[in-house]
Amino acid sequence: MALPQDGNIVILTGAGISAESGLDTFRDAGGLWAQHRVEDVATPEAFARNADLVLNFYDSRREGAAAARPNAAHAALARLDREWRGGLLIVTQNVDDLHERAGAERLLHMHGSLALAWCTACDARVPIAQDLIDRPACPACGASGHLRPDVVWFGEMPYEMDRIYAALGIVDLFVSIGTSGAVYPAAGFVQEARTSGAHCLEINLEPSQGTHVFHEARHGQAGQVVPAWVDEVLDMA
Ligand code: BV8
């Protein structure tokens, strides 16, 4: 498809883009939801019921993310961010920091980040590198025992929705990478993009739940398909 050189691109990423970095996805065989029930680790009710289980779940994922390295797909999106002169926004559902460690800057975490904690005493979001299970004191207010992962759980409002819908309102090319299309509102972004007249491309290991809404699909490992796609977009520019 012909994309104007000042065209606006929105890219939605999910756990599949981090799979080749060794991080578990949610719904693949052996994935996170095979290890834990969502209701036990990814809802505010779960946290109120058994904070230790939830804090251990996120502490271990934080350690996993810190030990992982960005893969070729993260690097390719960072290159696109550097070299694309039109509008670009990477909206990630992921809570790992592999996009930023690859160098992406026009990026937002709609479901929060393992690298931040949320102090429920003073409402501050603070960088955290240690285990929350140890109940560290909040660096902002000093209170102990009030830090939770700054991650959006089921039933909670995702971050920066206004900014996301503003970008989807003027998008020319919408690309979904490594997501099953199972969770809303993220799974509905492709519909918004279509309404804006964008060309919609799905890059995923296999057809997602919303694959029928896309104009085009490229199935395969993100580490191979994404760099080839970025080369194509930048060669067209
Ligand atoms: C909200 C952070 C409203 C935590 C996550 C409408 C209809 C039905 C339900 C709802 C609805 N609206 C809201 C809901 C409820 C709910 C929902 O959608 N439930 C689902 C289960 C039906 N949504 C919410 O609760 C959301 N909040 O809507 O609030 C509101 C309104 C007013 C006031 C207050 C609130 C919040 C949802 C956010 C939950 N948090 N993550 C954490 O990380 O622990 S969700 C989590 O799962 C991810 O963040 C991601 O968003 C989501 C989906 O995961 P994926 O990233 O897609 O990963 P998955 O494993 O599923 O798929 C991986 C894909 O990659 C696969 O397709 C695979 O084939 C592919 N793949 C694998 N390897 C590779 C690959 N592809 C390429 N290369 C590879 N190598």
Q: Which residue is associated with the tokens 């029930």?
A: 37
| CB of 158 closer than 6 angstroms to any ligand 1 atom | yes
The arrangement of strands across the sheet holding 147-151 comes to 125-127, 112-119, 147-151
Using CA atoms, how far apart are residues 147 and 156, in angstroms rounded to an integer?
A: 17
The best mutation among 184, 189, 209 to test binding of ligand 1, ranked by most ligand atoms within 8 Å of the C-beta, falls on 184
- Active site annotation includes 212: no
Using CA atoms, how far apart are residues 15 and 103, in angstroms rounded to an integer?
A: 18
| CB of 27 closer than 6 angstroms to any ligand 1 atom | yes
Environment class of 123 (CB within 10 Å of its CB; exposed 0-12, middle 13-18, buried 19+): exposed
Provide the CB-side half-sphere exposure for 11 (13 A, CA).
28
Environment class of 140 (CB within 10 Å of its CB; exposed 0-12, middle 13-18, buried 19+): middle
| pTM, entire model | 0.97
| CB of 28 closer than 6 angstroms to any ligand 1 atom | yes
Q: Which of 111, 199, 212, 215 is catalytic?
A: 111
Number of H helices, E strands in the chain: 9, 9
Tell how far the Cα of 139 is from the centroid of ligand 1, in angstroms.
30
Q: What is the DSSP letter of 116?
A: E
Q: Which residue is associated with the tokens 């971050």?
A: 159
Tell how far the Cα of 183 is from the centroid of ligand 1, in angstroms.
3
Residue 189's SS3 state is helix
**Closest ligand 1 atom, residue 16 Cα:** 65
Per-residue confidence in pLDDT tens, the chain, 237 aa: 678 889 999 999 999 999 999 999 999 999 999 999 999 999 999 999 999 999 999 999 999 999 999 999 999 999 999 999 999 999 999 999 999 999 999 999 999 999 999 999 999 999 998 999 999 999 999 999 999 999 999 999 999 999 999 999 999 999 999 999 999 999 999 999 999 999 999 999 999 999 999 999 999 999 999 999 999 999 987
